[in-house]
Amino acid sequence: MSRYSLGLDYGSDSVRALLVDVSTGAELASHQINYPRWSQGRYCVPAEDQYRQHPQDYIDSLIAVVRGLWEKVPAGTADNVIGMSFDTTGSTPVAVNEEGTPLALTDAFAENPNAMFVLWKDHTALQEAKEITAAANNNDINYLAYMGGIYSSEWYWAKALHIFRNDADVKAATYAWVEHCDWMTALMCGKTHPSQMTFGRCATGHKMMWNEHWDGFPPNEFFTGIDPLLDGLVDNINADTRPSHEKAGALTNEWAEKLGLPEGIAIGYGAFDCHMGAVAANVRQGVLTKVMGTSTCDITVTSKSHLGDTCVKGICGQVDGSVVPEMIGLEAGQSAFGDLYAWFKDVVLWPTRQLMSELTETGQRELVEKIEESALVRLSDAASLLPVKESDIVALDWVNGRRTPDADQSVAMAMAGIKMGADAPQLFKALVEATAFGARAITERFEQQGVPIESVVTIGGISKKSDYVMQVCADVWNCPIDVLESEQSCALGAAIMAAVAAGAFDSVEAAQAVMASPVCKQYTPNEQRAQIYDVLYHKYTQLGQFVDGGNP
C-alpha cells in the first residue's frame, strides 16, 4: 500500500498543498488557494511599505487547500498520509499572547494590522533595523557575525520593536513573537502555548540571531540596551531549536477532522520556503539554488571544514543545519524580482485600468482583461528581439530595497541612459537585466568570501514561465542554469522533510534520492552577449554606488 507525505507551501499570495508518494517520489496532486483578505488588499498600505496578513487567512486557506486536494485523488488516499510539514515566507512574525494565540485572533485586535503577521516584504522597521545593526556591531560579541553583519527591516526583532513603538495596546498584550512557519507547525501539534513551543532552526538562525556560538539567542541585556520595550521578550521564547527533518509532534484530533487526515501523523519542524525548495533541488556544496518568484531567495550549503571561521558578509545568515543536517546553510536573495516586472506592468497599464471602470459592454471588458493578461508576455517577446549593446539603458533592481548583498531597504531603484527613443520593450529589457545583475552581485559576494558557486539550479514560476528572463540570466551570469521539473518545489521540499520526520527514511539524503525533483530544462549562456553584459554589469555597479551614496 502506498504511503504519502504532504507539503504545505505558504507564499506571499497563496498556499499550495502537494501530495507525494514516499515510495516512488511521484507527485499525486497539488492544489492552490489564494488568501481571501490579502487578495482584497486589506491591512496593507503599499505607499508606506506596510504589508500585513491576517492569521485567519492562513487558517481558512489551509482547510480549503487540503480539502480541495482530496477532491483530486481517489477516495481513501488521505488515510495513507504519514506526515506533513510547512514552509512559509519569512521573516513573517506575529505577536502572540500568553496562550500563544496571535493577537488578531482575539476580539480586541481582530482588525488591527499591528496584531497580524508582518509579511516579509513589510519594510516599516527601517529605523529599528539600523539600531539593531549598530548595537550588534558595537557589542563585545557581534550577534550579527553569522548573519552578514547587517540586520534587515524584513526580520523578526526589527518588526517586533517597530510595532511596540507604534502600538502600546499590542505591546501590552504581547507575550512573544512567533514566525509563521513555527506557528503553523505548533498549531497542528496543539503546542502553541509558549511553554510547549519549540522553534525550527531555519527561522531562528537566519532571522532571530540564534546561534550555537552563544548558546542560543542574545541575552535580554542586549535587547534592552537597544530599547527597554524589548525587555523580557527573548526570555519568553525557547532557545532549543530544531532542524526541519525532526518530528515536532503529532497531528491533533481537532486538526485531523478539519483537514480530513489521520490523527497522530507526524508533523515536521517548519522552515522558510527557499530552504525547503533547496531540499527538493538536491542542494549541495558548490550549487546555488534560486527560488525565483515575486522576490528571490538564494540558498547554498557548505561544509563546516570548508567554511572554517569565515563569516560571510552581507548575506542573510549562515546556520548549521538550517537546510540539511551536518551542513552550513547560507541564504541570500533579492527583495524584488517578479515584483519589479509587476510594478512596470502596473505603470504601463494605468490608463487601461482607468478605462476599465468606464466600460459597460462585456466584449470591451474582455478585451481589456486580455491586454492585462498578455502584457508581460508581449513585453518579453519584444524585448527578446532587441540587440544587446554597451550603450543600453541600465537599471537597478532595488524597487523594494536591497536584501543582499548588504541589506538596505531604504535604497531605491534608478534607471540611466533613457532618451526620447526609448520605448516600453527597451525599458522592460533594462529591468529584466537589472534583476539578473542583482543576482550576479550575490553570486560574486559568495565567491569573494570563499563560498564556491559552480552551478545554479532555479525554482519557481519565473524559471518555468519565461524563456526570455532565464536566457538573460544565463548570459549575465555566464553559466548554465538548470530548471527543476517540479511545479511546487518548495512544497516538495516540505514533503521530503515530512517523510523523514515520519520515519519513512533514515536520512534526508535517502529521502532526496527517491523524492527530489529532476531537472527539466537547461539554459546555456551566449558568449557574445555575456561579454557585453560584463560591460553593462559594471555600469550597474557604478549606478548602484551613485544611488547608495558612493558605498561599494
Q: Which of 247, 269, 291 is the last residue of a domain?
A: 269
Q: For the chain, give the longest Cα–Cα distance.
A: 69
* Alpha-carbon gap, residue 328 to 450, rounded angstroms: 13
Indicate whether 532 pLDDT > 90: yes
Average pLDDT over residues 296-305: 94
Establish if 505 belongs to a structural domain: no
How sure is the predictor about 293, in pLDDT bands with cuts at 50, 70 and 90? confident
Residue 59's domain spans which residues? 4-269
Is residue 482 within a helix (H) or strand (E), and if so which, with residue range? strand 481-484
SS3 of residue 508 by DSSP: helix
Whether residues 527 and 409 share a domain: the answer is yes
Whether residues 41 and 119 share a domain: the answer is yes
Torsion sign across C-alpha atoms 15, 65, 507, 490: negative
Establish if 302 belongs to a structural domain: no
Half-sphere exposure of residue 189, counting CA atoms within 13 Å on the CB side? 28
Q: Per the omega criterion (within 30 degrees of 0), is the bond before 405 cis?
A: yes
Establish if 529 belongs to a structural domain: yes
Establish if 452 belongs to a structural domain: yes
CB atoms within 10 A of CB 189: 20
Contacts of 75 (CB under 8 A, 6+ apart): none
Whether residues 93 and 242 share a domain: the answer is yes
Q: Which of 269, 304, 330 is the last residue of a domain?
A: 269
Establish if 317 belongs to a structural domain: no
Domain containing residue 376: CATH number: 3.30.420.40
pLDDT of residue 118: 98
Work out the end-to-end distance of the chain between its first and last CA atoms, rounded to an integer number of angstroms.
59
Establish if 260 belongs to a structural domain: yes
Establish if 278 belongs to a structural domain: no
Q: What is the mean pLDDT of the chain?
A: 95
C-alpha cell at 398: 532595488
How sure is the predictor about 294, in pLDDT bands with cuts at 50, 70 and 90? confident
Q: In whole angstroms, what separates CA 105 from the centre of its chain?
A: 24
The pLDDT tens digits for 46-58 are 999 999 999 999 9
pLDDT of residue 552: 56
Whether residues 252 and 359 share a domain: the answer is no
Whether residues 235 and 352 share a domain: the answer is no
SS3 of residue 410 by DSSP: coil
Whether residues 369 and 233 share a domain: the answer is no
Whether residues 21 and 154 share a domain: the answer is yes
The pLDDT tens digits for 35-81 are 999 999 999 999 999 999 999 999 999 999 999 999 999 999 999 99
Whether residues 114 and 206 share a domain: the answer is yes
Q: Which of 269, 284, 307 is the last residue of a domain?
A: 269
Whether residues 176 and 78 share a domain: the answer is yes
DSSP 269: P
Q: Mean pLDDT lowest for which of 100-104, 136-140, 167-171, 463-467? A: 463-467
Indicate whether 519 pLDDT > 90: yes
Average pLDDT over residues 453-473: 92
The pLDDT tens digits for 153-179 are 999 999 999 999 999 999 999 999 999
Indicate whether 514 pLDDT > 90: yes
Whether residues 261 and 343 share a domain: the answer is no
Average pLDDT over residues 271-290: 94
Residue entry with cell 547560507: 330
Structural domain tally of the chain?
Answer: 2
The pLDDT tens digits for 223-261 are 999 999 999 999 999 999 999 999 999 999 999 999 999
CB atoms within 10 A of CB 365: 13
* Alpha-carbon gap, residue 288 to 285, rounded angstroms: 8
Whether residues 250 and 398 share a domain: the answer is no
The pLDDT tens digits for 339-394 are 999 999 999 999 888 887 777 677 777 877 888 889 999 999 999 999 999 999 99
Establish if 294 belongs to a structural domain: no
Whether residues 384 and 242 share a domain: the answer is no
